[in-house]
Amino acid sequence: MDDRESVLFRPIEATGRGFYLTVGLLTLIIAWAAYAYSRQLATGLGVTGLNRPVYWGVYITNFVFFIGISHAGTLVSAILRVFDAEWRRPITRAAEAITVFALILGTGNIMIDMGRPDRLLEFLRHGRLQSPLVWDVISVTIYLTASITYLYLPLIPDMAILRDRPGLSQWRRRLYTKLSLGWTGTEEQKHRLERLIGIMAVLIIPIAVTVHTVVSWVFAMTVQPMWHSTIFGPYFVIGAIFSGIATLIIVMVILRRAFNLYDYITEKHFSNLGLLLLIFAFLWAYFTFSEYLTEFYGNEPAGMRVLFAKLTEEFSPLFWAMWLFNFIIPFIVLSNRRTRTVTGTVITSLLINVGMWIERYNIVVPTLTRPRLPSPVAAYLPTWVEWSLLIGSLAMFALLYVLFSKIFPIVSIWEVREGEEIAAMHVPAAHVEEAGAD
């Protein structure tokens, strides 16, 4: 058992060339994005492709996209925990870390979009509760606080395990001692921790739903055609969990290979999450179809102009790519047990993330290009600054993740141990070894 577990400590105890290469490459990309942003700060938002009437573009799309993938953690670590799905144990922390870092990047993109980021504190000084953007600020702040707490709580016993582990450097020992809060693993402590985690798991689900609902309401509360929709709240939440699961699958395959976690992150995880992905592909398709059919049948002129911009005009390649990536390919690959393999789910997940980014872009931009009053035909072409900041955001997300997994065990050690104990109690002795991973 201890031999098997040693892979969980290896990323913390040993640093290979791969780590430095990855960090170096990511830092380079982020430095490039920082340069792009410095151009924007110095010159103004004129360095983007934004204009009148397309006032919002890639940055707002990134904001919705990152807030969306933050739902990975909540789904796996909270929903699956509440339902006591045993197989979740090795991937809960990986999922919850996605939540925290995606939220940071989502918030960051809103700040990048601001014309005057130096006036951020006006939110505190003059924030108006009537503004959906303030609903966002409040709910995202609560979500981030709750997510960090929820990431930290199950870390406490692992911090104690690391604190007591011989051979770690001085600063690590000090850090782990502080973070373990004097954990010794008594029954009393275990009981309290379980209770707290249980409360947080239940609390964080409505918070997560609120966050993405409110993000959708930034659009839905306006009277603009194809934004002013009553189903936007649930539609965005479904899309968020959809892209969240896809992101988790991508993260899982990377962790599995980089840290040699084949014993912990198994094919069953990919297959199970692949099935969940399939369910959400159906839900996404259902919401999207309802939304567009209702708009079409109502035949309201302002809405029809936006609708046909997507169906047949300049946004149609993106619109149909979105259907291909978010529904057709996932449906074909994931509904068949023979293609719902590790490779199958990972490729599908990559496409879904591209598809969901396009979906958000297709919600933000087309409406703005078709204002109600006559206006010169509006076109929007994102510039190198906007693309750099998208790639930089992704790199920053990856870097935060890499650094996190360098300091903290990315698989929750005590939870996996606990799962193995439970499995040992229920399964005949001969099968313990295979069942342990599941």
Q: Is 141 in the site for another protein (CB under 8 A)?
A: no
SS3 121: coil
- Cα–Cα distance measured from residue 272 to residue 270, given in angstroms and rounded to the nearest whole number: 6
Q: Is 223 in the site for another protein (CB under 8 A)?
A: yes
Residue 61: C-alpha distances to residues 29, 46, 107, 389, 398 (Å): 20, 18, 12, 12, 19
Which of 106, 113, 89, 112 has its CA nearest to residue 147? Answer: 106
- Which one of residues 192, 375, 421, 434 is an interface residue with another protein (CB under 8 A)? 375
For residue 374, whether the previous peptide bond is cis, meaning omega lies within 30 degrees of 0, is no
Q: Is 131 in the site for another protein (CB under 8 A)?
A: yes
Q: Kindly indicate which of the ranges 1-9, 29-37, 129-137, 411-419 contains the residues binding another protein, using the contact rule CB under 8 A.
A: 129-137
Widest CA span in the chain:
75
Q: Is 44 in the site for another protein (CB under 8 A)?
A: yes
Q: Kindly indicate which of the ranges 28-36, 47-55, 79-87, 179-187 contains the residues binding another protein, using the contact rule CB under 8 A.
A: 47-55
Closer CB to another protein, 120 or 199, in the complex: 120
Q: Specify the residue for token string 């690590």.
A: 172
Q: Kindly indicate which of the ranges 125-133, 197-205, 352-360, 429-437 contains the residues binding another protein, using the contact rule CB under 8 A.
A: 125-133
Three-state SS annotation for 201-239 = HHHHHHHHHHHHHHHHHHHHCCCCCCCCCCCHHHHHHHH
Q: Is 50 in the site for another protein (CB under 8 A)?
A: yes
Task: Work out the angle at residue 328's Cα, subtended by the Cα atoms of residues 323 and 334, and round it to the nearest 5 degrees.
Answer: 135
- Which one of residues 4, 19, 22, 127 is an interface residue with another protein (CB under 8 A)? 127
- Which one of residues 46, 182, 198, 298 is an interface residue with another protein (CB under 8 A)? 46
The size of the interface with another protein (CB under 8 A), counted in residues, is 44
Residues 10 and 347: beta-carbon distance below 8 Å: no
Closer CB to another protein, 32 or 123, in the complex: 123
Q: Is 138 in the site for another protein (CB under 8 A)?
A: no
| Position 345, amino acid | T
Q: Is 258 in the site for another protein (CB under 8 A)?
A: no
Q: Kindly indicate which of the ranges 113-121, 146-154, 185-193, 334-342 contains the residues binding another protein, using the contact rule CB under 8 A.
A: 113-121
The contact set with another protein (CB under 8 A) reads 43-46, 49-53, 55-56, 110, 113-117, 119-120, 122-123, 125-128, 130-134, 137, 218, 221-224, 368, 371-376, 378
